[in-house]
Amino acid sequence: MNKKRFLCFSPTFVTAPSGARSVEESTVHCTRCNACVQSCPSYLSRHEEAYSPRGRNQIIRLLAERKIKFSDNETLLYDVCRSCLFCARCTAACAGVLPMAEHVLALRRAAEWDFLPASLKILLRLHGTHPTLFDMLLCVLRLFRRAGLLHLLRISGLLSLPPLYWLKHADDILPRRLLPLPSALKKHKINPCPEKPDILYLPSFEAQYLDAQQGLASLQWLADKHPLILTRTPSGLFEYVYGNLSLCMSQAKRLLSRWHALSGKRPLPVITDSIEIFVFLKHFPVLFAGHPAWRKRAEGFAAKVQFITQVVSARKTAAKTAGETVRCALDDSSLLYTADEPVLQSRKILKTLFGKNFVECEYSRFVIPAGGTAFVRGPERQNAVLENVKDVARRQIEQVYCLSGLAAWELDAALRRHYPQACARHIVHIQAKPWQNSRQTHPLYPPTRN
Amino acid sequence: MRLSQRVISKLQRLAGKENVHTDEISLALNGYDCSQSRHRPDAEITLKKPSLLEPLICLLAEEKIPFIARAAATNHAGSCAAVKGGVVLNLNPLHQIYQIDTRNGFADVAPCAITAELQNALTPLGYFYAPDPASEKVSTLGGNLAQNASGARCLKYGNTSDNTLRAEFITPRGETHVLRHDACGPDWLGLVAGSEGTLGIIKNLRVKILPAAKHVKTFLATFPSLAASVQTVSDLVARGLIPRCVEAMDQITTRAVEDFSHAGYPKDAQALLIIELDGTLKQIKQEAQLLEELCRANGCDTFTAARTEAEREKLWRGRRAAYSAMAALAPNVAVGDGTVPRSELPKALSQVRQIIEQNGVMASLLFHAGDGNFHPQIVFDGRNAEQTRRVNKTLHEILKTCVGFGGTVSGEHGIGVEKRAVMACQYSRETLRLFQQIKRAFDPDNLANPSKIIPVHFEDKTLPAPENDVSVLAMAQKIKNRFNQKHSTTLVGTNTQLKSHAADILSAAELNRILEIDKTNYMAVVQAGVKTQDLLRELEKQGVYTFLPPSYTGSIGGLTACKAYPAFIRQITGVQAILPNGDIVNYGGKIMKNAAGYNLCRLFAGSAGALGMITKLTFKIYATPQTIENEAKPLFSFEPDSLFRAVKNEVDPLHLFRTAAFGEVNE
């Protein structure tokens, strides 16, 4: 057993009702009551202790106590880490509110396992570290697509060559009609950089690249009332989930510095359209638990973070969608933690708009979120999303509003394939006109041939 | 004990290679439950088909490998810990609900069907499943039966055993039996319920479902003292009002819970009761009036009713958050479940508080006021050896206190491995020996969940036998003499139709005293020779009732031994019997719940005197007349099955107690 891997647990702090605590300490607080188990989609598809949140906690605890070794069954450990969907349903069910998804993240980091193909990871990492280079690569992709080169490369098998592998991933995950948010803003002549901004808007990756409509709708929603400034500084969430902690912290520090510089004397509210980024930013103080100076700044920052639905009222949007007769539901999933306030706010908005047609989904068994780990493949993930589709069909829901863009993207692709009567969109789309036919494909759920 | 490669290969061939796990990590993950016990098994098998259970158990029996059935593993007693290694059978994939039959009021389920899943399936049909253990969202129905779990609603609707109609049961030898409460002979289903998998494995179940009440109303009453709150519950029962649930908290717990959950509980109240009534609107209105009247009569400070569903949910939120409130304070929570007669609850609770303070531990105290069951939840850090030792000592002292008040060490969680030691404080050597004989009869090789329930080397540890009635001692001596002389005995009741040799006959007719009619706990204690007609007359005189057919002319002991009236058998909470060797055994008492040891009430009821002579019975009485559905069955004769023969061979190896049940003496 590599000793370093154990030591990696300690400096990672996770949130707890009584404040931040180390991962080791947090797993010790698991009373093994098993209240979490029926909320875990991985467990429900396998019914084995190792794939339950309680089992994962015990694995980490036993590893930290050196009662088991990585080498005892590395395949099982890898599979256990891979099967966690970070949906945080276990945390919501836990009496001690243990952040079990974070425990698994800590184990993944300690084991130095990658769950993304290397080239895809490098590509997505570039978005945070070198956004200009990332944009240039996208231009290349667009050119290749327009010229039909990409199709040729794919059918000739050349895309499988390592130097071109990134193109395959980019082609898989990025939409056909690629319109990055900056270009979309130019096209719609929106200038989100006033001199005296009221709010700082932090768009998600999906709003920037996967679904520019989401970004535009968010901007329209916000810009109507508030002069805002848009920042593309990465939050560090991608590195937190898929990469290493030090890179994540340096990106978080960059964001904090940018916010501090823009705020001046008056702390600027930070708005985001991604529930994942929202909960991650809210937990910045825990991320900097070991750094008192940064922690103080992070606390001030976290207090100002808001989800997009918290800054608009339902009444305003009601006029545009009045007369709606479709049945809708809310996918309240978020990555790593549960987010109460935005969920309540979104529910209120949908109730106001849809009245009796808003279906309250008490997500119980399989019905789980797609949130945030859309790039990870695996049977659990696919099963979970398919169960979501079944639930939508069972309840005869026609529109599913998600708080996460990635969740909407993934669920919509699955719905398109298996239950085309319904579709899924990010919550900001209630602001937009009738949904446009801009459904994206997803690598896990390619469209049916007919 | 390490399993040989040969055995592992056999298991893999049977259950599938991918379902047999022997790596350290899988084994470590199957060696714990919600208690502090951790014992690593030698293999874990995930069972994906119920049909594999019998051949697997046969194979394990053939190879003499211990096995432990594992469901959700939410018990607080260490019942799933593999103390002697062996194979853990993970039954969790068997979670299907096969059938719901509302017309006949039952549901057929697999052993690991989740309690809440069944409730969710029944709700749209307008039905419900009565037992509601606190862990119902994750607990399995088979696990509930193995532990005889109950919950807040058990006061009105009974525990899991009462709500199970049939179970397919596999003995440790691999034989399958279908167990039912109403079958001839001893109530094996009642005996298996709460046996914690030590007698065999439950394969499939048929559970009782009931029409859901149309209306439910919840009330919160606060009292200036614990005694006043408990007295209110006694008064409620006395007036014939059995609420759906009665939950209670003392002041320290209320404060902790309120700080954590903000449920709106008044922090200055010494005790509070959450009472829930169900039924029709008219019925609830009447009962609510009576409830308020009784609460006020006992000096309640406040009495509020939840007006909306949201308010009701808020009231329950606090009670449900009690465990969370404690879990947030420290890494470990040790939960006890001692039970005392309801009237002893205030005294027992104040003594328990003293013990907690003396030992310097932090604990909350919740209790089901209706059935005298309380849950001290002690928080501690399991990594601190000294703290852990102190917590274990506190728990043991609390449980001993319960026994001192005529209670039991476990009301609903079971014994497992954690409370084995305190069993010696509750039961006499003779009773524990009988438990051991029952275990040996079912499982001669000690393979099914070994080293649970029965304390190790109890012969040296048990307390002296309790003082018994002179007439019972004389009867025991008589039986002992016959045993020494190897004379056979035929037990007869006052209603017997046997024509046997006069020398063989032994009757309990002289044990004919009504010992106590306790109108605080609503329990009656009578000797077995009391005639039912005399008993009914006495009960009526005292203004109480029970489930006894007025036309039955025999003795209460005979009625029980012949299981002539099953509705009465369900009311029995305590039994005293003399075994064929003259030993006196005692089980239960004036307690509503008892999950400690094998249920001897259910063993002796229907045994037709073949296993022992019933000398004393404790049973529930009611303030209102009960509906008597059927007439009593006459004395029966049944063909003893292999289970009966096995138990008989253990308890009475010389077959000295002869009985009409086998057709042996009935001419």
Model confidence at A352, pLDDT cuts 50, 70, 90, reads: confident
Strands B302-305 and B215-223, bridge-based pairing: antiparallel
* Statement: residue A446 has pLDDT above 60: no
- A12: DSSP letter: -
Classified as helix, coil or strand, B281 is helix
Mean pLDDT of A172-179: 69
Cross-strand partners of A22 = A13
Model confidence at A366, pLDDT cuts 50, 70, 90, reads: very low
Alpha-carbon dihedral B23, B25, B29, B35, rounded to 10 degrees: 120
Distance from CA of A86 to the nearest CA of B (A): 20
User: A210 or A98: whose pLDDT is higher?
Assistant: A98
CB B425 within 8 Å of CB B409: yes
Whether B90 sits inside 8 A of A48 (CB atoms) is yes
* Nearest CA-CA partner of B298 in B248, B348, B253, B340: B248
Whether A33 sits inside 8 A of B34 (CB atoms) is yes
CB B248 within 8 Å of CB B346: no
Q: How far apart are CA A265 and CA A262, in angstroms?
A: 9
Whether B25 sits inside 8 A of A17 (CB atoms) is no
Whether B328 sits inside 8 A of A31 (CB atoms) is no
Break chain A into its structural domains and give their ranges. Answer: 3-111, 114-174, 179-311, 313-430
**Token pair of B79 as six digits:** 């019942």
Q: Which residue of A has its CA nearest to B70?
A: A49
In A41-119, DSSP assigns E strands to none
User: A113 or A193: whose pLDDT is higher?
Assistant: A113
Whether B331 sits inside 8 A of A28 (CB atoms) is yes
Q: How far apart are CA A117 and CA A113, in angstroms?
A: 11
DSSP string, B577-644: EE-TTS-EEEEE-S-S---SS--HHHHHTTSTTSS-EEEEEEEE-BSSPPP--SPPPPP------HHH
Q: How far apart are CA B525 and CA A49, in angstroms?
A: 47
Whether B30 sits inside 8 A of A93 (CB atoms) is no
Tokens 């593993």, residue located: B73
pLDDT score, position A11: 59
Mutate to test the interface with B, among A34, A60, A61, A77 (most CBs of B within 10 A): A34
What are phi and psi for residue A435, nearest 5 degrees?
Answer: -60, 130
Distance from CA of A120 to the nearest CA of B (A): 32
Distance from CA of A43 to the nearest CA of B (A): 10
Mutate to test the interface with B, among A21, A24, A33, A98 (most CBs of B within 10 A): A33
Q: How far apart are CA A16 and CA A97, in angstroms?
A: 7
Distance from CA of B350 to the nearest CA of A (A): 27
CB B360 within 8 Å of CB B390: yes
- A239: DSSP letter: H
CB B338 within 8 Å of CB B375: no
Cross-strand partners of B247 = B274, B368
Classified as helix, coil or strand, A283 is coil
pLDDT score, position A157: 80
- Of the candidates A17, A32, A50, which has its C-beta nearest B25's C-beta? A50
Pairs of CB atoms within 8 A across A/B: 90
Distance from CA of B40 to the nearest CA of A (A): 12
Distance from CA of A422 to the nearest CA of B (A): 25
Reported as type and span, the H/E element at residue A199 is strand A199-202
- Of the candidates A28, A37, A96, which has its C-beta nearest B327's C-beta? A96
* Statement: residue A15 has pLDDT above 90: no
Model confidence at A140, pLDDT cuts 50, 70, 90, reads: confident
- B336: DSSP letter: -
Whether B33 sits inside 8 A of A32 (CB atoms) is yes
* Nearest CA-CA partner of B147 in B166, B170, B131, B129: B131
Whether A48 sits inside 8 A of B92 (CB atoms) is yes
Reported as type and span, the H/E element at residue B98 is strand B97-101
* Nearest CA-CA partner of B324 in A37, A31, A121, A130: A31
Query: C-alpha distances in angstroms, B328 versus A53, A386, A424, B11?
Result: 18, 35, 37, 42
Q: Which residue of B has its CA nearest to A95?
A: B324
Q: Which residues of A touch B382 (CB under 8 A)?
A: 28
Q: What is the mean pLDDT of each run of 10 residues along chain B (667 residues)?
A: 88 93 93 90 94 94 95 92 93 95 96 94 94 89 92 88 95 94 89 94 95 91 89 83 88 83 86 91 91 92 90 84 81 90 87 92 85 89 91 93 92 91 90 95 95 86 75 92 88 68 76 90 92 92 87 87 86 94 92 92 90 94 76 64 91 84 46
DSSP string, B416-428: TTTSHHHHHHHS-
**Token pair of B40 as six digits:** 């690593």
Q: How far apart are CA B17 and CA B323, in angstroms?
A: 40
With the C-alpha atoms ordered B442, B446, B452, B456, is the resulting torsion angle positive or negative? positive
Distance from CA of B38 to the nearest CA of A (A): 12
Mutate to test the interface with A, among B23, B29, B377 (most CBs of A within 10 A): B29
Q: Which residues of B touch A59 (CB under 8 A)?
A: 25, 29
Whether B72 sits inside 8 A of A34 (CB atoms) is yes
**Token pair of B296 as six digits:** 């006020």
Model confidence at A443, pLDDT cuts 50, 70, 90, reads: very low
For chain B, what's the residue count?
667
Mean pLDDT of A345-372: 68
- Of the candidates B29, B46, B74, which has its C-beta nearest A33's C-beta? B74
Mean pLDDT of A88-104: 87
pLDDT score, position A364: 42
- Of the candidates B28, B93, B117, which has its C-beta nearest A67's C-beta? B28
- Of the candidates A67, A76, A365, which has its C-beta nearest B26's C-beta? A76
Classified as helix, coil or strand, B367 is strand
* Nearest CA-CA partner of A19 in A245, A424, A299: A299
Reported as type and span, the H/E element at residue B506 is strand B505-507
> Cβ of B234: how many Cβ atoms within 10 Å?
20
> Between the ranges A82-86, A275-279, B140-144, B367-371, where is the mean pLDDT highest?
B140-144
Distance from CA of A71 to the nearest CA of B (A): 10
CB B471 within 8 Å of CB B512: no
Cross-strand partners of B470 = none
Mutate to test the interface with B, among A28, A30, A47 (most CBs of B within 10 A): A47
**Token pair of A95 as six digits:** 């009496």
* Nearest CA-CA partner of A329 in A415, A424, A406: A424
> Between the ranges A215-219, A412-416, B247-251, B525-529, where is the mean pLDDT highest?
B525-529
What strand order describes the sheet that includes B489-492? B505-507, B489-492, B657-658
Mean pLDDT of A150-170: 79
What percentage of chain A carries pLDDT values higher than 70? 82
Distance from CA of A64 to the nearest CA of B (A): 13
Q: Which residues of B touch A31 (CB under 8 A)?
A: 34, 327, 331-333
Whether B327 sits inside 8 A of A72 (CB atoms) is no
Mutate to test the interface with B, among A48, A51, A75, A76 (most CBs of B within 10 A): A48
* Statement: residue A318 has pLDDT above 70: no
Q: Which residues of B touch A48 (CB under 8 A)?
A: 46, 90, 92
**Token pair of B102 as six digits:** 């509302």
* Nearest CA-CA partner of B201 in B304, B61, B75, B342: B61
ipTM (interface predicted TM): 0.89
* Statement: residue A372 has pLDDT above 50: no
Q: How far apart are CA A337 and CA A90, in angstroms?
A: 9
Mean pLDDT of A329-339: 77
Rounded to two decimals, what is the model's pTM?
0.88
| Domains of chain B in sequence order | 5-90 (3.30.43.10), 97-211 (3.30.465.10), 215-323 (3.30.70.3450), 329-425 (3.30.70.2740), 470-662 (3.30.465.10)
The secondary structure of B429-470, three-state, reads HHHHHHHHHHHHHHCCCCCECCCCCCCCCHHHHCCCCCCCCH
Classified as helix, coil or strand, B197 is coil
Whether A93 sits inside 8 A of B90 (CB atoms) is no
Buried b (16+ CB within 10 A) or exposed e, B533-549: eebbeebeeeebbbbbb
* Statement: residue A10 has pLDDT above 90: no
Mutate to test the interface with A, among B20, B25, B384 (most CBs of A within 10 A): B25
- Of the candidates A50, A95, A96, which has its C-beta nearest B29's C-beta? A50
Q: Which residue of A has its CA nearest to B45?
A: A48
CB A70 within 8 Å of CB A63: yes
Whether A35 sits inside 8 A of B46 (CB atoms) is no
CATH code of the region A3-111: 1.10.1060.10
Chain A residue set in contact with B, beta carbons under 8 Å: 17-18, 28-29, 31-35, 37-38, 47-50, 55, 58-59, 62, 67-69, 72-73, 76-77, 93, 95-97, 364-365
CATH code of the region A313-430: 3.40.50
Q: How far apart are CA B51 and CA B55, in angstroms?
A: 8
Q: Which residue of A has its CA nearest to B112?
A: A47
Distance from CA of B373 to the nearest CA of A (A): 20
Q: How far apart are CA B248 and CA B230, in angstroms?
A: 9
Whether A365 sits inside 8 A of B26 (CB atoms) is no
